[in-house]
């Protein structure tokens, strides 16, 4: 299966590469509390990863392999929303 982005209320939370639809559904169900991050009313959905998100997943996977870990033990990586840098204070 191709990398998938799991979102809460349309905001990307992580990019994963499940082996099949059953694994994807199980991940969303079992990680709902982490995904929602305190927003128990948040709706969890997923979609195929775009090119940038796939590149993030591939980079993390390559780092995982470089550390000597096996391919099957890597599932995904959180996507952190980046806030604008604070203005410099003089």
Quick: pLDDT tens for 27-53: 999 999 989 888 889 999 999 999 999
Backbone torsions φ then ψ of 8, nearest 5 degrees: -120, 120
Of residues 44 and 87, more confidence is placed in 44
90 in a structural domain: no
Average pLDDT over the chain reads 87
Q: Is the pLDDT of residue 65 over 80?
A: yes
What's the rounded Cα separation, in Å, for the pair 47 and 13? 12
Q: Which domain holds residue 60?
A: 4-78
Given this model, what pLDDT does residue 89 score? 57
88 in a structural domain: no
Domain count, the chain: 1
What's the rounded Cα separation, in Å, for the pair 43 and 64? 30
């Amino acid at each position: 299966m191709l990398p998938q982005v799991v979102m809460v209320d349309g905001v990307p939370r992580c990019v994963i590469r499940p082996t099949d639809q059953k694994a994807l559904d199980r991940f969303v169900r079992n990680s709902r509390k982490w995904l929602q991050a305190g927003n128990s009313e948040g709706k969890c959905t997923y979609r195929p990863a775009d090119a940038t998100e796939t590149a993030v997943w591939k980079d993390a996977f390559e780092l995982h392999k470089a550390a000597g870990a096996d391919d099957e033990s890597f599932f995904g990586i959180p996507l952190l929303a980046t806030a604008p840098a604070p203005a410099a204070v003089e």
